[in-house]
Structure 1
Amino acid sequence: MSGRVFDVQVVHTPPESSRGQLLQQYVLARVMSMQDINLDLYDYDRHNALYFFAVNAEEQIYFRYGGRDSEAPDTYLNLDSLELALKAGLQQHDLYREGKRVGTAPPAPRYPRDIPGIQKFVLDRGRCVECHHLAHFESMELERSGELDKLRHMYRSPDIKKLGIHLDIPQGLRIAEAKGAALKAGLATGDVILEIESEPVITFGDFQYRLDKVDRRATTLSIAVERKGEKKEIEIQLPDLWFVTDLEHRFWTIEPRLYFEADPLSVDEKKSLGFPDDGFASRVTEVPFEAMLEQANELEKGDIIYSVDGVERDDVAKDAALYVKLTCRSGDTVTLGVLRGDERIELPLNTKRKSFRRLD
């Protein structure tokens, strides 16, 4: 089911259904263009196919509904979990009317027209301001100003499954299974997530949004869950590269295109070849035909890449490909140290930049 199909199902909810009865207690509005939206208030990962906000008249946000993973746009879109969110939103509104919900003042307005690329390539051309336009031009402005932090801005919306958190999706934030770091921390099947880093969450959209705000260099993550009617605090030890996801669906221009795939060598293989245990050494597994067409590289399957511009290890990146993506601008040329057979050679890697609908 795509985001579009889910959207149609929500719009055509039978009014007599339980979900329909809940929706009738909301004032429903569809945003057709982002042109006049306060971007810092209605903040979210713009590469989502569908995103809902539940707000009151003062624009206090009760919950976000949406979120995705790199596998599909609709992994976490579910009519049952939406119904749970709608109920929770009404409960939040009751608290607000009773004066028991203290909100925060909305941020100062920032609009799409305040992003130079949006003004020049979208608004001045009479085009609709689409969500992915915002993602593209905001990232380009960050790159041009030198403020781009690729750990934070390129790797958006970390995948909770990398933490070992697997949700019972129709039941919202109820845990179906805990694995890896989450299991080791004490998370259990049936737990319901209540907070992340002391911020209350109602939906997966809330949880992923707050997770996206966590410092990529953090080593722990605190969450609170409800277990058998009681609140329990849990601290998860974050695994290495917990924030790294597949970026293909984002079509980032800020992500250098490399035109090769490689798998890290085992520690034993690295030792036997004289490479550091924590070094980049990776064996090339695929070089697509486009590498020749784009004159990107002269790598061959089986080559072992062990350095980038003389650097063999990094505190964050554990392989050469990720190191290039994190430290180079799209279009940069770097020199790879390569072991081909028994010979160490140097090869240029000419990274490429994706164009974005020819808007820029």
Structure 2
Amino acid sequence: MSELIDKFVFVRLIKVNRLDLSLFQFDYDLTFAVFFMNADKTIYGRYGTRSSVEDAEKHMTTEGLAKSMQAALILHENYPDNKVFLAGKQPIETRFQTPNDIPSLRGKYKADLDVDGKIVQSCLHCHQIMDAKREIYRSAGKAMPDKLVFPLPLPRVIGLTLDPKTRATVSRVAAGSAAYAAGIRTGDELITLDSQAIVSIADVQWVLDNAPSEGELRAMVKRDDAFVPMSITLEQDWRRQTDISWRVTTWPLRRMGTGGLVFEPVSDGQRNAAGLSDELLALRVKYVGQYGLHAAAKRAGFRKGDIV
């Protein structure tokens, strides 16, 4: 790994108060994110994926990061002749240059951290960027786009599970899924998706994040020694299969939608004890927000353990 590291120039960003949002576009719910970039700001790929609070490193390994770094170096060696496979990986147009330009964040945080004073309070958290973008729609009384509610979907939303110790090797394909219908199988190595060179799971998420609500995604996989083209069909509302329950940015959504309630499925035992038939939808209140706007449900009388 040390020899591999020596081939990169490492730059660590420790604050996002004035982050260039026209360049650094990633999953703002992460606590660790990597960009592989050329000095001219061309992005070769991204790294960093998460799907739960309890197992935050499930999709990230040293071995997988090394494979992604190797893939990025290959792209660098062939640049700029391979620009066609990098075009879709570049940042999309944004209304806001920095977080400070977003209305609900404007003027709240200085450019520099207060390292000699209240450093925690002076630090803008990454997740607040997504919160602020959603607040624009909330304040205007407009419906939020699905892309804003279900950001950076995991590959499993189309039926794919990728081995985190590899660059992008398929470890599981869900039966009946879009990926299965396309012909992708366990052991396939994902080379491109939507004409973008794939160096990590995060790259697949980037493609899905910018994919249409319906349509086709072209893929190229390596199977044994052959390169096989595939076409993945995205059905209507495919993005809504994404699990966002673990995300910090889901807390404000709970405030808006449930008054601060966190639900969990009712177990068979709880269902039987409550005398509920299997045909009825039932959710158990796992947590009740306690303060401010998050306590609306609490003030209405909801309690932890209630079954709705």
Fold match (TM-score > 0.5): yes
Instruction: Report how many residues are paired.
Output: 265
Q: Is the 8 A contact 2:134 2:144 kept in 1?
A: no
Q: Distance in 2 between matches of 1:146 and 1:177?
A: 41
Of 291, 299, 304, 1:294 maps to 299
State the shift of 1:236 in Å: 3.9
Q: 1:240 to 1:36 in 2, by over 3 A?
A: closer
What corresponds to 1:257 in structure 2?
Answer: 258
Alignment of 1:5-20 (within 5 A): 19-20=1-2
Larger mean CA deviation between 217-226 and 186-195 belongs to 217-226
The yes-or-no answer on 1:226 pairing with 2:209 is no
Q: 1:94 to 1:252 in 2, by over 3 A?
A: same
Q: Is the 8 A contact 1:117 1:137 kept in 2?
A: yes
State the shift of 1:175 in Å: 0.7
Q: Distance in 1 between matches of 2:134 and 2:246?
A: 16
Alignment of 1:101-140 (within 5 A): 101-102=82-83, 110-123=97-110, 127-140=122-135
Q: Is the 8 A contact 1:47 1:131 kept in 2?
A: yes
Q: Distance in 2 between matches of 1:288 and 1:177?
A: 31
Question: What is the TM-score with the length of structure 1 in the denominator?
Answer: 0.64
Q: Distance in 2 between matches of 1:301 and 1:61?
A: 48
Q: 1:148 to 1:121 in 2, by over 3 A?
A: farther
The yes-or-no answer on 1:34 pairing with 2:52 is no
The yes-or-no answer on 1:192 pairing with 2:175 is no
Q: 1:289 to 1:76 in 2, by over 3 A?
A: closer
Q: Distance in 2 between matches of 1:183 and 1:283?
A: 30
Q: Distance in 2 between matches of 1:164 and 1:64?
A: 21
Amino acid at match of 2:136: E
User: Deviation per CA, 1:55-109, whole angstroms, max 9, x where unpaired?
Assistant: 111100011011221363222111111111111111111112xx41336687687
Greater Rg by CA: 1
Q: 1:287 to 1:66 in 2, by over 3 A?
A: closer
User: Deviation per CA, 1:155-205, whole angstroms, max 9, x where unpaired?
Assistant: 112232232212122012101121221223311111111222233321111
Amino acid at match of 2:166: Q
State the shift of 1:282 in Å: 4.4
Q: 1:248 to 1:169 in 2, by over 3 A?
A: closer
Amino acid at match of 2:108: F
What corresponds to 1:283 in structure 2?
Answer: 281
Q: Distance in 2 between matches of 1:289 and 1:167?
A: 32
Amino acid at match of 2:219: I
What corresponds to 1:204 in structure 2?
Answer: 201
Question: What is the TM-score with the length of structure 2 in the denominator?
Answer: 0.73
State the shift of 1:137 in Å: 1.6
Q: Is the 8 A contact 2:184 2:230 kept in 1?
A: no
Q: 1:57 to 1:163 in 2, by over 3 A?
A: same
Q: Which runs of 5+ in 2 are unaligned?
A: 115-121, 267-278, 290-296
Q: Which runs of 5+ in 1 are unaligned?
A: 1-18, 265-280, 304-360
Alignment of 1:61-100 (within 5 A): 61-70=43-52, 72-96=55-79, 99-100=80-81
Q: Distance in 2 between matches of 1:223 and 1:30?
A: 33
* Paired-residue identity, %: 19
- Find the residue that maps to 1:294 and give its secondary structure: helix
Please provide the CA RMSD for this pair.
3.2
Q: Distance in 1 between matches of 2:218 and 2:42?
A: 25
Of 142, 151, 165, 2:146 maps to 151
Q: Is the 8 A contact 2:34 2:47 kept in 1?
A: yes
Q: 1:289 to 1:93 in 2, by over 3 A?
A: closer
